[in-house]
Amino acid sequence: MRYTSIDDGTVTRPVLEVRLIGPGDVRGLAELEAAAWPGPLQAKEELIKRRLAFGHGIIVAATSNYLAAAVCVIPRAEPQFDAECFPRRFGEFSTLPRTDPVRSVYAYNLCVHPLHRGERVVRDVINLGIATIRDWGARWIIGDGRCPSYAGSRGEGPDRVRCDPAFRAALDGWRATGIRPSVDELVRDPVLRFYHRVLDCEFVHLAWNFLPQDSSSGGHRVIFVKDLTV
């Protein structure tokens, strides 16, 4: 898929090609990570190469000289989400190997260059990712949703959101009682709201202290599931 943005006859964005990652894209993906995430959350070239060697699938949106967005997933044989077997830390989650036959995928990264946030390209990499996942034969997408309004951040990085005390209380209550908050309470967070709107996913599990380096999310993740047959 190739396209650009044109406004009144003027090209306003570079030509973008949405496709599977190529052998020459590893450095570009590391540069995208550096542009999109604070230092502790960035994947370097060595880690990206390791993930690819494990059979991960990566969809990228590429301009002629940089990557605008990427979706990273792991094809897995698990039939659906199982909280007891789910990894306890992001480092393990994001470096699992591919297993066959593919019944589900673990989606661990949606990375968007700051220049392209809010643009069509974000949905395009997601849509090609879903089409690729279906081609593999998977039914389930299982992803970890960041929740930056848990603690908030006004510094450099993708968040720049305020702490939402009501959302924080909802997650703390989930942790304390094991009772999942309502969807309305969870989608107070802008990232979870995006995933719910775009994927029509279900929030199923609170991964507490999943990635401690993600300070705006309090180190936590909300695990979501999308059934591709509905």
pLDDT digit string, tens, across residues 120-141: 999 999 999 999 999 999 999 9
Angstrom distance (rounded) from CA 63 to CA 230: 33
* Structural tokens at position 14: 């570079």
Question: Which has the closest alpha carbon to 171: 154, 150, 198?
Answer: 150
Residue 5 has pLDDT above 60, yes or no: no
Q: Which residue matches tokens 């297993």?
A: 99
Q: Check residue 80 and give its pLDDT.
A: 85
Angstrom distance (rounded) from CA 198 to CA 210: 23
Question: pLDDT class for 8, splitting at 50, 70, 90?
Answer: very low
Are 186 and 205 in contact by the 8 Å Cβ rule? The answer is: no
Angstrom distance (rounded) from CA 38 to CA 193: 22
pLDDT digit string, tens, across residues 46-93: 999 999 999 999 999 999 999 999 999 999 999 889 999 999 999 999
For the chain, domains (ranges, CATH) are 1-138 (3.40.630.30), 144-230 (no CATH)
Angstrom distance (rounded) from CA 226 to CA 230: 9
Question: pLDDT class for 6, splitting at 50, 70, 90?
Answer: very low
Could you tell me the pTM of the whole model?
0.91
